[in-house]
Amino acid sequence: MNATWTNLLPLGIVLSSLLPGLLIFTLREEQTRLRVALNLTGVLLKLGLVGLMLWGVARGLEFRFSIPFLPGGELVLQGDALSLQFVSLSTVLWLATTIYAIGYLEDAPLRSRFFGYFSLCVSATVGLALAGNLVTFLLFYELLTLATFPLVVHRGTPQALQAGRVYLTYTLGGGALLLMGVALLHSLTGSPQFSAGGYLLPLLETRTPSLILAFALLVGGLGVKAALLPLHGWLPQAMVAPAPVSALLHAVAVVKAGAFGIVRVVYDVYGVEPVQALGLHLPLLALAAATIIYGSLKALQQRELKKLLAYSTVSQVSYITLGVALMGPIAAVGALAHLVHQGLMKVTLFYCAGNFAETLGVHRIREMDGIGQRMPLTMTAFTLAALGMIGVPPTAGFISKWYLGLGALETGQSGILLVLVLSGLLNAAYFLPLIYRGWFATPKAPWPAAATARAGRPGWRETHWMLLAPTLFTAALALLAGILAGTGFSPLGWSQLIINREFDL
Amino acid sequence: MTLALASLLLPLGTALLMLLLRLRSGIWVIAASLGSLLCAGLALHEVIEQGVQTLAIGGWRTPLGIRFELSSLTAVLLVFTAMTHLLVAIYAQHSRHSHARNTDYWPLSGLLHASLAALWLSRDLFNWYVTLELLGLVAVAMIILSGPRAHAPALRYLLLSLAASLCYLLGVALLYGRYGVLDLDLLAQASEADHSTRMALLLMTVGLMLKAALWPLHLWLPAAHSSAPTAVSALLSALVVKGPLFILWLLWSRVAPVDMTESAGLLFALAGIVALLAGGWAALRTPLLKTLVAYSTVAQLGYALLALGLLLRWQQSELSVALWLFVLAHGLAKVSMFLAAGEMQATLGSKRVASLKGATQTMPVAMFAFAVAGGSLIGLPPSGGFVAKWVLLQPLLLEPIHWPWALGVLLGTLASAAYVFRVVALSFDRADATPPDYDPDPFAQWLALLPAIAVWGLALFSQPLILWLSEASG
Amino acid sequence: MPATELLLDITLGVLLLILAGAALHGTRLYTGIISFIAFGLLLALVWARLGAPDLALAEAAIGAGLTGVLLLSALGRHADEPAQPGSAVRTLATLLLGVLVLILLLRAVLPLAQGPQPLPALVNSQLEASGVSHPVTAVLLNFRAWDTLLELLVLLLAVLGVRQLQPAGRPRPGVWPLLQAWSRILAPLSVIIGGYLLWRGSHAPGGAFQAGALLAAGVVMLRLAGLLPLLRWENGLLRLLVLVGVALFLTVAAAGAWFGAGWLNYPAHWSGALIVLIEVAATLSIAASLSLLVVGERQELGR
Amino acid sequence: MSGASLYLGLGVLLWLLGLHGLLRLRHPLRRIMAINLMGSGTFMVMVALASRSGHNDPVLQALVVTGLVVAVSATAFALRLAVAHQAHRSRQRPTGEHEE
């Protein structure tokens, strides 16, 4: 393999967070400046590299790095349009969350370990996004599980440990299923590169049972991370993790890894035709629809803000699966756009929840009464993101739901429209009261003067700037993604590009 | 071949010199292991370049003399043995808890190394009996280094090991009586499926399975391996139990008549699955740390047994690759696990698993080593354990009729995940951390991490490795 | 074969079985051990009957002598075991299983009374080249010398193993005067016989192991009589004695490999001399190791 | 029935007797003797095989010599180990310490 820059760029993108992460492990606790410097260098470098790759992919360059690994399955990292969608999202949100986390964890213990594993997680996510075949995908998928675990149990309390055990039980079980599925497909054809339209068509006739079982195993394994219905139990529990972890990992990296995997399996491994021929999309569709409704219903019953957001994630991530399972190009555009939109909105919501908790000690929904007067900026961001989640135009959430609805009509699954409408109503039912409470209810007690060192005062300095800035940044991005949806470089535009390539339109 | 012999002789000569001159420093063994590793590596290179080599010892051809054979598998095993010895020797030289001071640890470890090398090279049934006895005695002698508390398990191990040798020897006697030769290849050419051959194979199999602690003859292992000094536990689990396995594999894949292998293969494979589950369950239940690691050896040997069984049942020689990959990956991972466990146990002052609370803070590197090695046992990519499992799974998954076996592998994976993460999850408990008795020793912890990293590195090296191993099994 | 011989064989077999049963199940441990020693002696007779005088010599020295001393001295340490409650059902089940296994084994073993034996002829044809005229010695020290080398290592390992036990100083019983008197005669005798066996080994039954075992028996006897001073492990001479067999063997092997003839390949004209040399060294090592194994004490085996 | 067959059968019987003793008996000295019986049985099979058809097989006899050395070394080690174990136990018991 020639070591040209196009070959090395995917590796560079992975290493740009991996190496700083490994270095951070070796730092002593009090080397704060060096740690921050390493973190930021990694983030900015990665941002630059991703930008370079975006530019290249838009111009039709190919980025591919490979080393020999298993017989018939190399380790391949490649940058295509789909992977870049996820990579860009992760990188931008990593930037925001790193700043957020530095502020959030100021003076907390074990920061070297935290940031070390945090960088590893991002590396695994990016690697998973760039994975060029199933074996590579599997590898990063498992690494993501391992790197996330220490963050879930970071606080080291019995409660955190319990959540960690649950998390591991689910994800390792899922990992084992995925391993079996990948190995099964590998035994049939090896692990060729992901390609639009899949590579299993020739086996459709002869290996039907194997293909069906493999699909079930793969979706079962990926469904754990994507929090599909019977496999979602870990996500609400994992909310004991510190807020930046919940924000980046459980709203974006981990759950999206599952959803992204489903996209890859359906489009680039099986291909649309075989999936339809085997009738595999229907159970997936039913599962996704059920999860959407179930998650919303559960969210309605929650009293803690983070738990509510967690169930909302369960519901919202399944939109992506739903869009994929509809098997039409328009729905697919909606699904891929939602991958980004949901990420931006949900991360904002988690930042806000973290701000409330850190500044004023607010964890429960009841305690949010009148919080908008004390923290207007955060509450504004929260409102924007929540409206997006409900799907109010012109927010990003509206755009993706619109496309999903159109897609459902296009493929004749009009029942799905009903699901979308119902879920929108449910979303409104659990988000609107929050917005109402925040802005219009009167606080039960006066806000504490300054609960912690980083608590600010009302106005522009309502909380630590490192907590506030990322919140506003992502909220703005979520808004812009909706308003500028028509332009070529919006998430929607990019999704269109991907789908044109996938469906060969 | 000269290089392979040198790889055998260096540790042997060093051990004898150390005894004679009363040298007490581990430097000598480290140097000898390094030299042996170098020779073994060169021997491997030679085999790859020139193909399988044989040596008639003393110039006497078989059937009269004893034959050495250097295949690529043998060379890989020589490298593996030397590497493991080198890693463990560096640890033992450095660690405060190794029982290497004021004992015969060093010469014994040299003799262990030489015995293993002799076993890998030999292809003579009776010569294997002597090497098996050597292995058994040296293992027991090293177990009792840890003091009188180890005497009871050591005695039990010794007696069972002797009985197993005699089972094996009776089998050898029957084969010799039936065919009049002792060389493996000559037997392979002559063997027929008659009553004497069956009985001989049965006897030898029982003896070898007992020595290799293969389920259901594994009961001696947990106590023996967990009561040994840390460095010794590592060597025993990584290497000693693999010796009999090697002979078992050669016997069944070369000598046994085909119609016997199919039924025996089924039994082996079933025993392998049960070993995976029973060993995993026992590891999950035990309150003691080193016992947990020892039970994990029982469970992991189940994979090897499963691979052996299926290889015999379906006559698929590529499954030997899976078998030996399991052995290599398990060996390295187990070295790391035992060293980490021993170091933590000694520093935290308790043998219990529960004492590892908060170990990620008090002894982060050792705990990390334990977790990383555990990852390979579970088979997480990209570790050596993963590659081995992958190679094993390929033929299992290809035909729907074989899927039940894959289910067994899946369950085994989950069982190993359960016992590894039982420990790992506990170590994150910051609320109630066990304070260390001594200052943790960072260098020893890093040494424990080294083999764990090596086993993950094995994955990147897997393509040539698979090639060499499949050449040897073809 | 004549009926008398068959009768003798059957009698021997029945006696052996009775003694073996008594060794395991004799009511007192002491009885068991005595039966076991008697079993060893009888076994030596069987070896002689079966045309294996080499083995008969070895068995007599070991089975009856060394193992007996070891067992008896171990008995001093052990309390007699508590009687094991035996249930009739279990005994019956064991018996049935035993009979079943026995039948299977017999079916496998008995057909072997006629089997191919290519090796004896081959040994005889190569005997000239081996450097010795006794076939067993030729096999042990030339054709399968590698086995013998490893066997010496086994012996060494046993000594090392006992060393790790840090054996407790045995309370020395008052020496029995008669034993002292006898051993003054027997011990030199054992040395002489041992030397003779060693020398004879190259052309007739006998050899390093038998000679070493006899020498060891002599040493043990002298020690029990309190006539032999302790040799400390610190003493280089003792270590040299224990190691010389293996060391010399290995040196010869390595020299062979180095100077071209090949691993364990004796140069043609020297093979007889080299074998004798190795045998002498091996005898010394075997004698030293065996006597250490049997009567070695803390000072001899300790640090 | 020839002498060789007789001793072949006897050897197997001794081997089995030893095995049974090893599995059933608890006392270490008895078990060690049982193992020695197994050894003697095995050697008897080998020697009987060596003496079949009249002429002696020197290879088998040599193997038995080697086996005998191995067996006696291991037996001696086992006996010393049993003694040491016993000594340790009897040292511990009076002081009332418990083994784990």
Q: Is the pLDDT of residue B474 over 60?
A: no
Q: Is the pLDDT of residue C61 over 80?
A: no
Of all helices (H) and strands (E), which one includes residue B75? helix B72-94
Residue C265 Cα, gap to closest chain B Cα (Å): 4
pLDDT confidence of residue C201: 67
A292 in any annotated domain = no
Q: What is the average pLDDT across B331-356?
A: 91
What does the pLDDT look like over B13-68, one tens digit per residue?
999 999 998 888 889 999 999 999 999 999 999 999 998 999 888 888 888 889 99
Measure the CA–CA gap between B221 and B240, rounded to whole angstroms. 11
pLDDT confidence of residue B30: 94
Measure the CA–CA gap between A370 and A50, rounded to whole angstroms. 41
Over the range B112-134, which residues count as b (16 or more CB within 10 Å of their CB) and which as e? bbbbbbbbbbbbbbbbbbbbbbb
D100 in any annotated domain = no
Tokens representing B402 are: 């074989």
| Higher pLDDT among residues C56 and B325, named by residue | B325
Maximum Cα–Cα distance for chain C, whole Å?
A: 67
What does the pLDDT look like over C159-181, one tens digit per residue?
999 888 875 555 455 556 666 67
Tokens representing A450 are: 């300054």
Q: Is the pLDDT of residue B210 over 90?
A: yes
Residue extents of the structural domains in chain C = 130-303
Task: For residue A11, count other CB atoms closer than 10 A to its CB.
Answer: 19
Indicate the number of domains in chain D.
1
Q: Do B162 and D78 touch (CB under 8 A)?
A: yes
Q: Do D26 and C9 touch (CB under 8 A)?
A: no
Task: For residue A83, count other CB atoms closer than 10 A to its CB.
Answer: 26
Residue B294 Cα, gap to closest chain A Cα (Å): 23
* A193 phi, psi to nearest 5 deg: -65, 150
pLDDT confidence of residue B333: 95
- CA distances, B24 to each of B27, B47, B138, C247 (Å): 9, 36, 18, 19
pLDDT confidence of residue D96: 42
ipTM surpasses 0.95: no
% residues pLDDT > 90 (chain B): 68
pLDDT confidence of residue D100: 33
Report the residue from C123, C246, C257 with minimal CB separation from B16.
C246
Chain B residues with CB under 8 Å of D35 CB are 159, 162-163, 166
Q: Which of B27-31, B318-322, C227-231, C275-279 has the lowest mean pLDDT?
A: C227-231
Q: Do D74 and B144 touch (CB under 8 A)?
A: no
Q: Which of B115, B133, B151, B166 should one mutate to test binding to chain D, selecting the residue with the greatest count of D CBs within 10 A?
A: B166
- Find the domain containing D77 and state its range: 3-95
% residues pLDDT > 90 (chain C): 15
Minimal-distance CA residue of chain D relative to C79: D86
Report the residue from B137, B144, B174 with minimal CB separation from D74.
B137
Chain C residues with CB under 8 Å of B179 CB are 115-116
pLDDT confidence of residue A452: 53
Among the listed residues C248, C253, C246, the one whose alpha carbon sits nearest the alpha carbon of residue C286: C246
Q: Is the pLDDT of residue B168 over 90?
A: yes
What does the pLDDT look like over C89-103, one tens digit per residue?
888 888 899 899 999
Residue extents of the structural domains in chain B = 257-474
* B306-320, B327-341, C74-88, range with greatest mean pLDDT: B327-341
Q: Do C262 and B12 touch (CB under 8 A)?
A: no
Residue A188 Cα, gap to closest chain B Cα (Å): 6
For C:230-259, CB contacts with D below 8 A are: none
pLDDT confidence of residue D98: 42
Residue with tokens 């891929």: A336
Paired sense of beta strands B53-56 and B67-70, if any: antiparallel
Indicate the number of domains in chain A.
1
D74 in any annotated domain = yes
D13 in any annotated domain = yes
- Find the domain containing A415 and state its range: 340-505
Q: Which residues contact C236 (CB under 8 A, 6 or more apart)?
A: B20
Q: Is the pLDDT of residue D1 over 70?
A: no
A145 in any annotated domain = no
pLDDT confidence of residue B418: 93
What does the pLDDT look like over C209-224, one tens digit per residue?
888 888 888 888 787 7
Chain D residues with CB under 8 Å of B141 CB are 77
A44 in any annotated domain = no
pLDDT confidence of residue C202: 66
CATH number for the domain that contains residue D53:
1.10.287.3510
- CA distances, B410 to each of B416, C57, D54 (Å): 10, 58, 59
pLDDT confidence of residue B162: 94
Among the listed residues A311, A317, A88, the one whose alpha carbon sits nearest the alpha carbon of residue A225: A317
pLDDT confidence of residue A154: 87
> Which ranges of chain A have pLDDT less than 50?
1, 453
D87 in any annotated domain = yes
What does the pLDDT look like over A215-224, one tens digit per residue?
999 999 999 9
Q: Is the pLDDT of residue C26 over 90?
A: no
Tokens representing A86 are: 């996820």
Report the residue from C105, C153, C250 with minimal CB separation from B199.
C105
Average pLDDT, rounded, for chain B: 91
pLDDT confidence of residue C227: 74
